């Protein structure tokens, strides 16, 4: 299983959607659309995004740790 890390390329804001798209084998645009559509539903989507932004290391930092 690959380690989740925010890529240095393909980021728009924090790279969370790009990291999740790489993990699940889809495009970053698709993942962003899913996130935006989920914002129409009640729930803590923005808080989850911020938490994942903090928890997922940047791609360069993730490589240096291993």
Residue closest to 24 by CA, chosen among 57, 41, 40, 32: 32
- Residue 5: inside a domain, yes or no? no
pTM of the model: 0.76
At residue 61, does pLDDT exceed 60?
yes
> Does any domain span residue 25?
yes
Number of domains in the chain: 1
Query: Looking at residue 59, what is its pLDDT?
Result: 81
Residue 24 in any domain: the answer is yes
- Determine, yes or no, domain membership for 9: no
Contact 16, 53 (CB under 8 A): yes
Q: How confident is the model at residue 37 (pLDDT cuts 50, 70, 90)?
A: very high
Q: Does residue 42 fall inside a structural domain?
A: yes
Kindly report, residue by residue over 9-33, the tens digit of the pLDDT.
877 888 899 999 989 999 999 999 9
Q: How confident is the model at residue 63 (pLDDT cuts 50, 70, 90)?
A: low
Domain that includes residue 41, residue range? 16-65
């Amino acid at each position: 299983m690959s380690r989740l890390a925010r890529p240095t390329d393909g980021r728009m804001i924090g790279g969370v959607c790009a990291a999740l798209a790489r993990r699940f084998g889809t495009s970053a645009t698709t993942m962003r659309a899913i996130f935006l559509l989920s914002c129409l539903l009640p729930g803590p989507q923005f808080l989850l995004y911020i938490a994942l932004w903090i928890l997922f290391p940047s791609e360069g930092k993730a490589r240096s740790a291993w």
